[in-house]
Chains A and B, each alone.
Chain A
Amino acid sequence: MSNALVIQLNTLLAALILLTSFALLVQRRMFAILHLFAWQGFFLGVSTAVIGFATGEHHLYISSLLTLVMKVLLLPYILYALIKKLKVHREIESIMNTSCTMFLGIALVIFSYHLTAPIRQLSTLVTRSTLAVALATVMLGMLMMVTRRHAVSQIIGFLAMENGLFFAATSATYGMPMVVELGVALDLLIAAFIFGIFFFHINTTFDSLDVDQMAKLKETD
């Protein structure tokens, strides 16, 4: 595989990851969000494998396999089971309308491009131009957590942020040490289980997972 082809594939996958982050921001249906998250994980896994093939760092293959299994199969399945059990409302509302969210998203992308400009000039890696996309994915994940009203969407935003961090790691330094990766993967899994238990209890107490309802928990008026 020639260098040029690798770079092209990499930029294409980075663009698709960015597209899925934006789609996560504006999509309203619960199952569609889950599918988008699975696709994001898929693109991420493929991208890691491609970089592993091009640079010859074999530990990236293991990372890629781990990503594919966890983020494309396991986590979406856990969340799907959770949603079915909780019998939640299928639509997620947001606090601003679509156009505002999109403009904020674009502003964040431009901001992350501006931030990563010095690194791009210094780095010698194949993947240096995708660092901006990675940072943007982290920020868009956080934006999703802020602008959505439903608790399930917040966990997906959190997971999207982690995706972005993982992508940033592969872009900047060709992956993290294996120990760190396995640790993070285990943490994510446990977090998903704990979230599930909490959501079950919240739903039983409040009869809804709308975040605005939980504002009743504060003590002052």
Chain B
Amino acid sequence: MTLHPIVIELIQLLMILFLSPAFAGWVKIVKCRTQGRTAPGLLQPYRDIARLFAKDVVLAENASWVFRSTPYIVFGVTLMAGGVIPLISVDLPLADTADIIVLVMLFAIVRFCTALAGMDVGTAFGGMGSSREMMISSLAEPAMLMAVFTVSLAGSSTSLTQMVTVMSGHAFVIRPSLAFSLVAFVLIALAETGRIPVDNPATHLELTMIHEAMILEYSGRYLALIEWAGMMKLVIYFSLGTAVFFPWGISGSGDPLSLIIRALFFVAKLAAGGAVMVLIETGLAKMRIFRLPDYLGSAFLLATLGMIAFFILE
């Protein structure tokens, strides 16, 4: 019994929706263990989100409709982006509506709206977060595009389903261009999702905040939506990486049993990736903001090297 593609799409959306807090919890557990602290439970992010939903919203007097609508837009667009990446099947109806460039631009919408919301309340924190975030994103975009370009050369397409199909057809072979692009992608993903060494997700010190500064005035269900969207964004970047660089175990038939097996395989990849990310985070310190151009410049360099390596060596 094969499931209809729309049902598979819904299952994938629900997976992203409900697995992302668990992923955030898992990352927290691994980080605390490596640092020798006691971790909160795996389900703590769910409790946090539920608590925030139940609370009143405290809204500034001069907040406009831009501020009030941003959490919904951010959440909706992130969910849409989650529907575009092939996670457990290549047979998704939404996947043909957007290729990898559209995906990058969907995240640009999220960033744009959040930056506007940061400017909306008229505090110094919001402006600071918005301006730093836009600087980082403007430096990360060329590097991201170069990495995408190299990968699309290897997969001869920018459509994600096509890339997954083509690359999982090849045997496991280390190609220098893809290796360079992978390292570049990891560096950029750390910058875009706001993890150490770019931005500390747990800080509220004004000198070190970037993402937190923009959402400082949000409370109640708005904050819940934005936090949840942040967790989903992390899972989505991670699944983008696996779809492009480790695409084995994504495509397959539509019957429920193999779907469940692929879903479990995806969860295993998530868990492993989360552990690797925690090791990177624990091993590095957060960089000063004006060192970030060097950092993103090396990401760009690696991506360009990957592209050159494709032409020279392959």
Contacts and interface: CB of A to CB of B under 8 A. Distances in A.
A213 interface: no
Interface stretch (A18-26, A45-53, A73-81, A199-207): A18-26
- The size bracket of the interface on A is 20 to 34
A132 interface: yes
B298 interface: yes
Contacts, number: 53
A133 interface: yes
B33 to A, nearest CB: 30
Nearest to B309: A15
Chain A contact residues, majority secondary structure: helix
Interface residues of B, number: 19
Given A8-B174, A11-B314, A106-B301, A18 B309 contact: yes
Given A8-B174, A11-B176, A99-B293, A22 B305 contact: yes
B294 interface: yes
B173 interface: yes
Nearest to A113: B312
B237 interface: no
B297 interface: yes
Nearest to B300: A102
Contacts of B314: 11, 129
Contacts of B179: 12, 15
Interface in A5-21: 8, 11-12, 14-16, 18-19
B174 A106 contact: no
Interface of A: 8, 11-12, 14-16, 18-19, 22, 26, 98-99, 102, 105-106, 109-110, 113, 129-130, 132-133
18 contacts: A8-B173, A11-B176, A11-B314, A12-B176, A12-B179, A15-B176, A15-B180, A15-B313, A18-B305, A19-B305, A98-B294, A98-B297, A106-B305, A109-B305, A109-B308, A113-B312, A130-B313, A133-B313
